[in-house]
């Protein structure tokens, strides 16, 4: 669920949560209990959430489990490529080292290798891109993700750029 969707739903759910809820007891008729839900339960990101960027215009977003990262290309890279017409996705189970090529993106202008920002094992790839490679142009840092990787050394994330650092790098 997107961050925007969570933000839209949270007030409604919190409002509903503050009302009485009905529970079924086998020994007695229905009874009422108050339900308390913390706003923290609706946070779209955990304390482990990390999104980092490379100088080659890739990004990786570490999931709440702290082990799985989603890889894609940045908005900047998507615009620079132009209309994407083909995406070569990495094979599942592929073990890669930081900086290895895990696939390619071809556009009407050029072709570019996708380099993994961290070492690990490819666990999933975005099959939607096989049928609709233009998804990268529409949502490069969302639905246009390329692969999921089981990160073998999370310390490698430390050498990558934050969003603020990447934005400054992009402007240079």
pLDDT for position 43: 32
Element containing residue 125 per DSSP (H, E)? strand 120-125
CB 77 within 8 A of CB 140: yes
Task: Give the pLDDT score at 82.
Answer: 93
Sheet bearing 58-62, strands edge to edge: 50-53, 58-62, 68-73, 147-151, 120-125, 95-96
Q: What is the pLDDT of residue 129?
A: 97
pLDDT (0 to 100) of residue 172:
82
Question: What's the pLDDT at 89?
Answer: 97
Beta-strand runs (E) in 14-67: 20-23, 31-34, 50-53, 58-62
Rounded Cα distance, 163 and 53, in Å = 7
pLDDT of residue 50: 81
Query: In 3-state terms, what secondary structure has residue 114?
Result: strand
**Burial per residue of 37-64, b for 16 or more beta-carbon CB atoms within 10 angstroms, e otherwise:** eeeeeeeeeeeeebbbbbeebbbbbbbe
pTM, whole model, 2 decimals?
0.71
Give CATH for domain 50-171: 2.40.50.100
Q: What confidence score (pLDDT) does residue 104 get? A: 96
Structure tokens that stand for 106 in this block = 């071809």
* 39 and 51 Cβ atoms separated by less than 8 Å: no
Q: Is 79 helix (H, G, I), strand (E, B) or coil?
A: helix
- Per-residue pLDDT of the chain in tens (172 residues, 90 and over written 9): 444 444 444 443 333 333 333 333 334 444 333 333 333 333 334 445 689 999 999 999 999 888 999 999 999 999 999 999 999 999 999 999 999 999 999 999 899 999 999 999 999 999 999 999 999 999 999 999 999 999 999 899 999 999 999 999 988 8
Q: Enumerate the domain spans of the chain.
A: 3-42, 50-171
């Amino acid at each position: 669920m997107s961050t925007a969707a969570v933000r839209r739903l949270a007030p409604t759910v919190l409002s509903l949560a503050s009302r009485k809820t009905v529970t079924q007891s086998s020994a007695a008729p229905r009874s009422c209990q108050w339900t308390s839900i913390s706003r923290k339960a609706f946070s779209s990101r955990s304390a482990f959430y990390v999104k980092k960027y490379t100088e080659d215009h890739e990004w990786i977003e570490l999931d709440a489990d702290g082990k799985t990262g989603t890889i894609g290309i940045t908005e900047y890279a998507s615009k620079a490529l132009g209309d994407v017409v083909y995406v070569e996705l990495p094979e599942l189970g592929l073990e890669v080292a930081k900086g290895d090529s895990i696939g390619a993106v071809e556009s009407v202008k050029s072709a570019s290798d996708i380099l993994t920002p961290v070492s690990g094992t490819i666990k999933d790839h975005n099959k939607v891109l096989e049928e609709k490679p233009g998804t990268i142009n529409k949502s490069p840092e969302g639905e246009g993700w390329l692969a999921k990787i089981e990160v073998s050394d999370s310390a490698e994330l430390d050498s990558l750029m934050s969003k603020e650092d990447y934005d400054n790098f992009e402007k240079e």
